Structure 1
Amino acid sequence: MHRIVTLVRDGVLPIELGIVHRLFGQARSAEGNPLYDVLTCALVPGEVRTDADFTICVRHGPEVLATADTVVVLSSDEDYEPQTGGRLRGAMAEAFGRIRPGTRIASICTGAFVLAAAGLLDGKRATTHWRSAADLRELYPGVEVEENVLYTDSGDVLTSAGVAAGIDLCLHMIRRDHGAAVANEVARGTIVAPHREGGQAQFIQRPVPEPRISSTAKARAWALEHLGEPLTLRELAARESMSVRTFTRRFREEVGISPVQWLTMRRLERARQLLEETDLPVDRVAEDAGFGTAASLRQHLQAALGVSPRTYRATFRGPALTAG
């Protein structure tokens, strides 16, 4: 199994620890077998303070970092103190020295400060909670800080914004490891959205419409039922009795991305599901997902994941289809 080791420090946010264990712990193969082994470690095993009125008891020390396939570094309430950067460089140097080359390393929220202190983010895109982005940029000028995204993925180093974005990052890693079907099943079990693109804005202006202000929810629901059709902004706006300009502005306020970006993401999700769960020809998958042609699907999948539809299917299709 792929081993996830979660590194906690004094002041850890318990909700972040729960996210990692719950999401990776729920991932199952088609036969129902666990896909991840999740451990927790601290620099010194034993009692670890949280930011709440209780502590947690951590059995493992930093030695288990050497056994990890993925290390997830959580935030701490101490990360908000300006002097933390200097302490991190010394405190984490030995621990990170135990990690094997090629191990995937991720952070949630201000855990990005730990990765930056270890030099892992130099020259890379990274994010953290928008309130801490300026501090991260000032302390570590070699990091390309993007404060208005949910998460970043540089291959073997990933970062996410505040707490809920940690859910998105974990689902993204599960999806990257085992495909959309496994990640979607984990999302269903946790009752969360199956996929929010990393580039989506951290702060959405109107997640719940104000009284007497129309939402774009009906148009989105209708679009999901008609993904295979050629949808236009004018048609979507008409569903909400709005002008295209008003609809586009309201959509971005509620969802955090443009209608066109949202449609492309939903169509990619549909295409990935069909590639994994059916034996439909690629041309038919492209048509049913709304891309029209195999060439268009190939272009979008290559841009999003760096693979062709056939390569994606060969990697992530279910065992029953593969055997057939």
Structure 2
Amino acid sequence: MALSGTLQNVVAVVLEDVHPFELGVASEVFGLDRSEEGLPVYDFALASTRAGELRTHAGFTVNVPHGVERLAEADLVIAAATGVRDSYPAELVQAVRAAAERGARVLSICSGTFLLGAAGLLDGRRCTTHWRWTDELAARFPLAVVEPDVLYVDDDPVVTSAGTAAGIDACLHLVRKLQGSEVARGIARRMVVAPHREGGQAQYVNRPAATREYSSFGTVLDWMRAELDRDWTVDQLAARAHMAPRTFARRFQQETGTTPLRWLIGQRVLFAQRLLEETADPVETVAARVGFGNAATLRHHFARWLGTTPGAYRRAFGG
């Protein structure tokens, strides 16, 4: 299998009772013409086992113009949520499997992960789905490595995401990976969503995050972003938030879904991506500017977070 780095031809799979929000996520990210803003225009299509009107989970219908043969042209196949089904049409399962085998990427949103499992694409792979269905996913596909409390998992060529809005994060992650952070930021800006939430964040937090106006964390996060090259400690951050260190660490996890260190590393990687795209600074300089100290540490985190090297990323997206 030769995995394609192309992201132009995108097909969303639609079945009866498809969940309209999750389908809308795929349509919003890949189905709109944003060429006036210098953003890519995707060849986006809907496909199913039969063309025509299909009922959504909300009761209204959607017109699906293509059969499953359309998957044969796709660079990316998206399986939107359709609920957890006992079985899937054999021709659809085969078409999804064949797309992955020839090098297409496959992305699932919420319970769409079960279709990928039926196609054998989860065996031996890390994956996730909505937290309500992770136990069922693990039971039904015992060879899958289910991660129950994350937003999305990228185990090339398969990307799986949790429920609803986590599909936005997974789609933007894939755009960023294949087309650069500037394109992902442009699409996110049009959608009025956060340009990046890293996949390891929790699917849900114990209480709603406080609004920026009243949360001490809003100020703390701004401090951290403004001084990414600083070696922050939990004690220092807690003091700025006027909390005890243990309270701060617990509250940070509750309100952001991740730890202070992991959040900081993610922000450093994002800033490094931007510098590699927009400047000619040597990799060693980029590493120092973002707070990793040296090129070796930057390469380590790029490999873990993005599956590539700073040099390869710059060659792909610099300029």
Is contact 1:26-1:186 (8 Å) kept? no
Q: CA 1:152/1:97 → structure 2, altered by over 3 Å: closer, same or farther? A: closer
What's 2:200 paired with? 199
Opposite residue 92 of structure 2, the aligned amino acid is M
Contact 1:252 1:258 in 2 (8 A): yes
TM-superposed CA distance for 1:305, in Å, is: 2.1
1:29 deviates by: 8.0
Q: Partners in 2 of 1:173 and 1:8 — Cα distance? A: 20
Shift of 1:12: 0.8
Corresponding residue number in structure 2 for 1:92: 92
SS of the aligned residue for 2:165 comes to helix
Post-superposition offset of 1:296: 2.1
The equivalent of 2:23 in structure 1 is: 17
Residue 61 (structure 1) shift: 1.1
Q: Which residue of 1 aligns with 2:157?
A: 156
Q: Which runs of 5+ in 1 are unaligned?
A: 319-324
- Quick check: 1:306 aligned with 2:307? yes
Deviations along 1:235-273, whole A, 9 cap, x unmatched?
211111011111111000011110000000001101110
- Provide the rounded CA distance (Å) in 1 between the counterparts of 2:38 and 2:226: 30
- Range moving further from structure 2, 20-29 or 263-272: 20-29
The structure-2 alpha-carbon separation of the partners of 1:252 and 1:27, relative to structure 1 and needing over 3 Å to count, comes to: farther
Q: Is the 8 A contact 2:149 2:202 kept in 1?
A: yes
The residue type equivalent to 2:52 in the other structure is G
Q: In the TM superposition, what is the alpha-carbon distance from 1:228 to its structure 2 partner? A: 2.4
- Counterpart residue number, 1:282: 283
Q: Does 1:67 align with 2:73?
A: yes
Aligned-pair identity (%): 45
Q: Structure 1 residues 31, 15: closer, same or farther in 2, change over 3 A?
A: closer
The equivalent of 1:116 in structure 2 is: 117
Q: CA deviation at 1:223?
A: 1.1
Structure 1 241/39 Cα, relative in aligned 2: closer, same or farther at 3 Å? same
Which residue type is aligned with residue 290 of structure 1? G
Residue 28 of structure 1 deviates from its aligned partner by 6.4
Partner of 2:48: 42
Does the 8 Å contact 1:26/1:34 carry over to 2? Answer: no
- How far off is 1:204 after superposition? 1.3
How many residue pairs get matched?
Answer: 310
TM-score, normalised on structure 2?
Answer: 0.90
Bigger mean CA offset, 88-97 vs 67-76: 88-97
User: What is the match of residue 321 of structure 1?
Assistant: none
Q: What per-residue deviation string (whole Å, max 9, x for no partner) do you get for residues 273-321 of structure 1?
A: 0110111222221222111222222222222223322221111113xxx
Matched, 1:183 2:184: yes
* Compared CA separation, residues 2 and 139, structure 1 to 2 (3 A): same
Q: Work out the CA distance in 1 between the residues paired with 2:161 and 2:132.
A: 13
The equivalent of 2:3 in structure 1 is none
Which residue in 2 is equivalent to 1:103? 104
Matched residue type, 2:22: E
1:63–1:98 CA contact under 8 A, matched in 2:
no
Question: Contact 2:68 / 2:92 at 8 angstroms: preserved in 1?
Answer: no
Runs of 4+ in 1 over 4 A off after TM superposition: 26-31
Counterpart pick for 1:51 among 57, 66, 81? 57
Note the C-alpha offset of 1:47.
0.7
- CA shift for structure 1 position 89: 6.1
**Counterparts of 1:217 and 1:32, CA distance in 2:** 31
Measure how far apart 1:170 and its partner are. Answer: 0.2
- Between stretches 144-153 and 283-292, larger displacement belongs to 283-292
Match for residue 257 of structure 1?
A: 258
Segment drifting more, 136-145 vs 112-121: 136-145
Q: Quick one: which amino acid aligns to residue 11 of structure 1?
A: D
Going from structure 1 to structure 2, the CA distance change for 1:214 and 1:30 (only over 3 Å counts) comes to closer
> Contact between 2:107 and 2:160, CA under 8 Å: does it hold in 1?
yes
Unaligned runs of 5+ in 2: 1-6
* In 2: Cα distance, 1:194 partner to 1:28 partner: 16
Q: How many Å apart are 1:141 and its aligned residue?
A: 1.5
Query: Structure 1 counterpart of 2:253, which letter?
Result: R
Task: Give the distance between the partners of 1:232 and 1:224, measured in 2 at CA.
Answer: 14
User: Which residue pairs with 2:4 in the alignment?
Assistant: none
Give the Cα–Cα distance (whole angstroms) in 1 for the partners of residues 219 and 137 of structure 2.
Answer: 39
1:238 maps onto 2:244 in alignment: no
1:203-253 superposed Cα distances (whole Å, 9 cap, x missing partner): 11123239xx96422211211111122322222111110111111110000
Distance 1:148 1:27, change over 3 A: farther
Per-residue CA shift, 1:38-86, capped at 9, x if unaligned? Answer: 1111111101111113111111111101111110011114x2xxxx23x
Amino acid across the alignment from 2:14: V
Q: Deviations over 1:83-129 (max 9, x none)?
A: x23x2264633443653611111111001111111111111111110
